Structure 1
Amino acid sequence: MMEPLQMRITSLVCFVFGLVIYFNMTHKNITPKETHVEESYITPRQPKPKEVYAEESYEPLQSMDHYPNTFPVRHCGSNQTYVDFGSGDILTDEQKANVEKCFSSYMDVIQDSYDAELIDRNIRYTSHSYLTQQSVVIEAGGHRGIDTGEINSRFRPGYYYVLEPVPSFYNLLVQKFNESKNVVVFNFGIDSSDGTFHIQESSNDAVSIFAPRNETGEKIYIVDTTKFFEKISVRSRDVDLITMDCEGCEYAVLDRLLTTDYIRHFRNIQFQPHRIDRICFPLRRYCWYQELLRKTHKLSFQFKFLWENWKQL
């Protein structure tokens, strides 16, 4: 019979030996190593790849196929219309040369514009300190209300009209700005003429009326730009700012402004030019606008082909 003391010693040795085996098994190859912390733990944003956009070839009208003292209006494949500022003598020879230079510079310029806009993205919100409680603002393309919230929270203009044709986004905007009594949301978009279009009900992105037409899904409404301007009495109270991120409607609005005296009633014109296949000549039209807007406005900021604002002279 083993003595009690011997039994205790034996048990203790077995226990210690078991612990040694356990720690060797569970901590094998887990020796702490020296760690190195980078100065910045955020993965740098990769540069946006160069955009490739091939625009269809453009031919100006050989003869002015329109009435005297009017602008030539031509049809797009998407059944929209556009003002052909490149035909006839609307632009001077110098301006036409500037347009060609602007058009051909697109691929060289667009990457720099993306990079610059990434650094100073908020300028389209912060550069409107002229807005007061008497100001009128129009935003075409309210979407989820990001731009509306950014501009309205900073400056609280007296009237802030938001146009959003997609019902789900419209309902979101109404709910989001329910307490902002100066914000009025309309459930339609604007373009060169009245119209109705259909979108898929599950659409969660900004919607362009220039996308291929379909006859199923949710119906959205488009109002002629002039009718909307008349509705809010633009000629009797100037618009301090119109800002457009509306998936292509900016071209129709600029066509209308530049062919009527409405241009004199808009103190600031801010827009993002979209390049969508079914919009006729978006690059060339953008370059036309660069020449024509200079007659009444001057640039206050520009990320060329991406975002810019023109202030009244």
Structure 2
Amino acid sequence: MAHKRETVAVFVVFCFLVYISMNMMTKKDYDLKETAVKLPTCELPENLFRNEQPSTIRKPNLPQVIPILPITKRNKCIDKVKWNHASDFSYFYIPSFHFCVNSNIHPEKVQQFHFERLVNTGNYNITSSFFSFLKRKSDVVIIEIGGYTGQTLQKLIPVTGAKHYVVIEPVPSFYKTLNKNIQTLNFNTSVKTYNFGLSGNRTELDVEVVGDGTKMLKKSILNTTEKVQLVGVLDFFIQLGVGCHRIDLLTVNCEGCEFDVLENLLSTNLIQKFDFIQFQPHHSAPNIGNFLCRYCRLRQLLARTHEVVYKFPFLWEVWKRKE
């Protein structure tokens, strides 16, 4: 009984300290608004997922997508894919959410600082070299979102010894070059490419074509545009058979679509199928809303199932699935 009272007392003190820190942070935010920089208005990191979600997962309609492994069940294990329960963040998460927003208030400066930090490491190929340990495994599976013309693929396959590699690139001209480059490679790897992008819903968009910085636009406003097809995030991954298999690495670099991709995966138990998730957050991408609020909320959602392995903010970060 005495031990229980001590535990309760410690918990009460902890809650009080959290309450005090929240109040102090609120005042600090107010002072910053008045004297330094204008902070974005962020809602608390409430539940991401819609209340009207159906009880069952919709069957995908993407017959052109081939399951990543031949042993995939005919129904793509759709019966194993479940919506994650709608649970709000506790008050213990709120201070760290605000800290994330406040510490990244100038994303351009944060990005420049960590770019110099990355340069100082001398490891310019960290997005591929980090995963060299995968070569000790057999049947490594990698999915790349935003393949561009194949630069990442050409590094990751020899470093990891991947046996199965899926890459999507929505821009038709890039996709054409990507396939040409793949044909010149001499890898013992099954590589499958798809010419579409991922979004919350199936749609069609114009893109401003500016090399690897190509961005999605709501409508065509420049002459240098191409039309791209977007398909549902969950439809794509379910049709691939991710519900049946563990994926060694998901790497995402798609000029803002990383939010749609990861948020949709986080809304289901598919997120737990990825051992490693590597992505590049794009703070200047159009049509993503309030970047800081969305980015910080995404990190806290991802922390429920994964933990950070390395991080160069607004350049690259890698998360490992918790055991």
Residue 268 of structure 2 corresponds to: 260
Cα distance change on mapping 1:62 and 1:303 into 2, 3 Å: closer
Gaps of 5+ in 2: 1-36, 55-85
Residue 313 of structure 2 corresponds to: 304
1:207 counterpart = 2:214: yes
Cα distance change on mapping 1:165 and 1:64 into 2, 3 Å: closer
CA distance in 2, matches of 1:270, 1:57: 28
CA distance in 1, matches of 2:119, 2:301: 28
The alignment-based identity, stated in percent, is: 29
Q: CA deviation at 1:256?
A: 1.2
Please point out which of 106, 123, 139 is paired with 2:126.
123
CA distance in 2, matches of 1:296, 1:173: 33
SS of corresponding position for 2:308: strand
Where is the helix percentage greater, Structure 1 or Structure 2?
2
CA distance in 1, matches of 2:261, 2:230: 12
Q: CA deviation at 1:97?
A: 1.1
Residue 95 of structure 1 corresponds to: 93
The one-letter amino acid paired with 1:207 is: T
Cα distance change on mapping 1:61 and 1:113 into 2, 3 Å: closer
1:170 counterpart = 2:154: no
Within 5 Å, give how 1:35-114 maps onto structure 2: 57-59=41-43, 67=51, 90-106=88-104, 107=106, 109-114=110-115
Comparing 258-267 with 190-199, greater Cα deviation is found at 190-199
- TM (normalized to structure 1)? 0.69
Comparing 60-69 with 183-192, greater Cα deviation is found at 60-69
Within 5 Å, give how 1:183-198 maps onto structure 2: 183-198=191-206
- TM (normalized to structure 2)? 0.67
Q: CA deviation at 1:293?
A: 1.9
Is the CA contact 1:164–1:186 (under 8 Å) kept in the aligned structure 2? yes
Please point out which of 282, 287, 290 is paired with 1:278.
287
- Per-residue deviation, residues 101-127 of structure 1 (Å, max 9, x unmatched): 011111374333121222333221111
SS of corresponding position for 1:267: strand
- Per-residue deviation, residues 2-41 of structure 1 (Å, max 9, x unmatched): xxxxxxxxxxxxxxxxxxxxxxxxxxxxxxxxxxxxxxxx
Q: CA deviation at 1:182?
A: 1.8
RMSD: 3.0
The one-letter amino acid paired with 1:260 is: T
The one-letter amino acid paired with 1:123 is: I
Gaps of 5+ in 1: 1-52, 71-87
Cα distance change on mapping 1:264 and 1:58 into 2, 3 Å: same
Cα distance change on mapping 1:62 and 1:283 into 2, 3 Å: closer
